[in-house]
Structure 1
Amino acid sequence: MRPTLTALRAWEPADLERRARDLDAEATALFAAVDVADTRVRDTVWSGVAAAAAVDRSDRERSVAATLFGDWEAAAAALRSGSAEIGAAREVALGVADEAAERLGFVVSDSGRVTAPVLPWVGVSLSANVIRILVGECARWYDARIAAALDAVDAADRALALALREIVGDPAAPPVGSTADENARYWTGLTEDQRRTVLAQHPARVGNLDGLPGRVRDAANRAVLDADRRECTQLLERIEQQGLYRETSGTAGKLALIRASAARARLEELDAVAAAIADPDRRLLVYRGGGEEIRAAVAVGNVDTADHVAVYTPGLNTTVRDDLDSASDAVAGLRDDAQRQLVDAGRADETVAAVVWLDYRPPQVSADDPAGAVRDAVVDLGLTAAARSGAAGLGDFTRGLDASRPDGVHLTAVGHSYGSTTTGIALQTGDIAVDDAVFLGSPGVGTGDVADLGLPPGHVYVGEADGDVVADLGAYGPDPSTLPGVTALATNDGPFGGESRGHSEYLEQGSTSRHNVGAVVAGLPDGAVTSPATR
């Protein structure tokens, strides 16, 4: 980025030359000291195993010193070259700017733009117009020269920064299209300084990179979210300041109204994400703000250290704007329930985290949008396009949680409604890294054979509440509660909670259903209340 003229005046390119001389002196002193030490080791009269080890160590130290010497010499050369190039371009830029402003009286902005002054003494004759044209051309000539000089300064500065980064080994950008295991190895191979650099330079890529620690992804995604909220707020302020959208009769006003409405809608989505992660125990593990609709995943608890992690995938008509905050609260309650059961079981040293995963677009069937409802009903609901697309992302996400935890973690996939279909398809691909699966209010999991899900016997659970018509649809395979090998979780009144009814009460506070899901999540399946499959 071009420097301003004010910033450029504060630069001292000669300092780069002085730094180069300092590096030369330090490199020479270092190598001389290592050479003296090496000579003393080799000139000693002692012998034997210890002496041989000392010589070997001295050889290694000398090799390291030689590498450092070469790097410091290269850095010194880069600093000298940068000093000369930046200094020359700086002198030209400031010289031209000063000449335009002081000698000719042109107005020179801090960014280097040059405009001609108003000439009140010039009349309206032909010769006067010629004078104005000539003065304007002169201003444009100076403007172009300053711009070229500032570009030269910027280019020289960038070239120096690149040369120094190559010498010190600046880390590569985050990988693209790699697996969760590859991403985890990439991050593990970086130093702490390199990690800070990558996080600062590539937050959008770091935040959604499966296989990285949750705390890292959260920091990156929060930075991107904050930037998007600022940008959207500023855009809306500019639109409102212009006020064109109030003139709805004209084309410009109608276009401005559309832009204002779109900006307000996007800001509502952004605010919904911010609200969902407002509590201190929340982590933003996924944030994608560049598409038609925002996608996100929010964790409650520490996925980097928890012994048990649940990944909850919601279904039909769920959106980030309307449901992410409430869904985060729901998984928070599930986490608390699972944690309480661990304490009751004498395993209070184990911890639980839960994630609501909305990094896909569930079908949206709404009477307010009949065209969209038809599209989603045919493409998504009928052909399971959204479930198949979501299944791939869900698999990547769970493998990322597993890859970021070399100590291992007990993972449970919890899918509700269409989210259970998405989870079922992910299990059938074999790419999802979970130990247990719980399907709630499921219209089908894409298969009629539990063995297709790839989990050991006794690790697939189904909850179906009384009055849940969706769970009886069998739209994507047989009703999973009727499949052999599935453990049916009770949803009625019982010793651990009340009844869940209909399609949306499976994770209600104080319900038998939530207690049962919590037992599975906590790795305490014997604590769940089972029942015959609900027809």
Structure 2
Amino acid sequence: MRRFGRTIVTAALAVTVVAGTAGWASGNSEAAVTGPPPGAAAWRAGSVAGRALPDPEGASPYEVARFFAGLDGPERRELLRAHPLVVGNLEGAPLPLRYEANRMAVLATGEARYASLAGPGRQILAFDPRGRGQVAEVFGDLERAAHVSVIVPGSDNDASTYDAPRRPDTGPAGMARALRAAAGGSTAVVAWTGYTTPVGVGLDAAGGRLAEAGAVRLARFTAGLDAVGAPDPVLFCHSYGSVVCGLAARHTDATDVVALGSPGMRADRAAGLGTRARVWAARGPSDWIADVPNVEFAGLGHGADPAAPGFGARRVPAADAQGHTGYFAGGSQSLAAFAAIARGEVR
């Protein structure tokens, strides 16, 4: 009975934190973007050289990779011109083809908020303009990299804000740039804003619905990396992104999962994630996430604190990390540790 009472009190605290920070967001709950990329119907009806095209939702990334391996250059370009949004988001398709397809797709939107994504040298690995938009960008040479890391961001990230002015080393792209600079040239880093994130702190951020949808997309994305021969990735999961990673971990081939500024990973312990990956956690002394109760009750909250000793994650030093977004700051303990993990130097 006493334990039940503590649960009720803690759940009430969770409600208070959410309501007091941003109010209940049930009136404008985000609709998760799921399923195949835009243009899938036309793709399914098409063909190339008399061959049916792999279903963009039902075919595995490995089947997609084998399909493209059987096409010559002109055949690949035929599909590129006819179906840029599908090719650009098709896990298992050749990386250079996806970069070119997404440049074409960005330009085709004609929207100023996306224009910078088509700039010289950008390697846009995914671009989906539905809803608030989703985008993934590669920093480094993903085709030749010895090590690959993926940044999985939290709330308030989407394609329309991806290139918005921010403090350096924050936001998905800033984190990815900082990590690649610290880890060195043999490491490629992907800034993966490939799911519908919560907006603000409300019911979406307190619940797992968007994380569950995001976990499916993250698992397929990592399978796509594997299908094109990329090394098994390290997942760096910030804030609500760590909820996504917690749900996806067992379905990925990640070597390491790093939770930073995490509200919980929907597991009581690291072993409960069901992954063979090494699990790490970072929490700075001034990160406000520490004030969020680590409970899961009536669908709200994300469970145990990954940075707590009882969770069983390896602790990343973060004594000099400032606030909720300071983990990738140049010269910080946490960035140095992240770089070592990204290079596979820590066992």
Q: Identify the match of residue 309 of structure 1 among 141, 144, 148.
A: 148
Aligned CA distance change for structure 1 residues 472 and 186 (closer, same or farther; 3 Å): farther
State how 1:417-428 maps to structure 2 within 5 Å: 417-427=239-249
CA contact (8 A) 1:311 1:357 kept: yes
1:411 aligns to what?
A: 233
Contact 1:299 1:356 in 2 (8 A): yes
Q: Return the alpha-carbon distance in structure 2 between the equivalents of residues 198 and 400 of structure 1.
A: 19
| SS of equivalent to 1:481 | coil
| Aligned AA (1:513) | S
Q: Which amino acid aligns with 1:309?
A: V
- Residue 505 of structure 1 is matched in structure 2 by 326
TM-score by length of 1: 0.51
Aligned to 1:525: 346
If you compute each CA radius of gyration, which structure gives the higher value, 1 or 2? 1
Q: What does residue range 454-473 of structure 1 map to in structure 2 within 5 Å? A: 454-456=274-276, 459-473=278-292
More strand per residue: 1 or 2? 2
Where does residue 173 of structure 1 map in the other structure? 53
1:363 match: 198
The structural deviation recorded for 1:327 is 2.7
Matches within 5 A, 1:342-491: 351-365=186-200, 377-378=202-203, 380-405=204-229, 409-427=231-249, 430-456=250-276, 459-473=278-292, 474=294, 475-482=301-308, 483-491=310-318
Instruction: Name the residue aligned to 1:284.
Output: 124
Q: CA deviation at 1:228?
A: 1.2
**1:338 corresponds to which of 183, 194, 197:** 183
RMSD between aligned residues: 2.2
- Match of residue 189 from structure 1: 70
Deviation at 1:461, TM superposition (A): 0.7
- Helix, strand or coil for the counterpart of 2:191? strand
Task: Name the count of aligned residue pairs.
Answer: 287
Cα distance between partner residues in 2 of 1:395 and 1:182:
16
Code of the aligned partner of 2:49: G
Q: Which deviations, in whole Å up to 9, do the C-alpha atoms of 1:276-314 show, x marking residues without a partner?
A: xx462x31011011x221111111012122111111011
CA deviation digits over 1:432-456, x for unaligned, max 9? 2211110000000010121222333
**CA distance in 2 between partners of 1:189 and 1:298 (Å):** 26
Runs (5+) with no aligned partner, structure 2:
1-45, 165-170, 295-300
**Partner SS for 1:285:** strand
Runs of at least 5 residues in structure 1 that lack an aligned partner in the other structure = 1-164, 233-266, 341-350, 366-372, 493-498, 527-535
Please give the secondary structure, in 2, of the residue aligned with 1:316.
coil
Contact 1:299 1:328 in 2 (8 A): no
Say if 1:387 and 1:425, in contact at 8 Å, map to a contact too: yes
Structure 2 equivalent of residue 203 of structure 1: 84
> In proportion to residue count, which structure has more helix?
1
Distance 2:120 2:174 in 1: 10
Change in Cα spacing, 1:420 to 1:484, as seen in structure 2 (3 Å) is: closer
Q: What is the rounded CA distance, in whole Å, between the counterparts of 2:290 and 2:92 in structure 1?
A: 34
Distance 1:279 1:490 in 2: 37
Equivalent pair of 1:472/1:479 in contact (CA under 8 Å):
no
Q: In 2, Cα distance between the equivalents of 1:279 and 1:308?
A: 24
Q: 1:279 to 1:222 in 2, by over 3 A?
A: closer
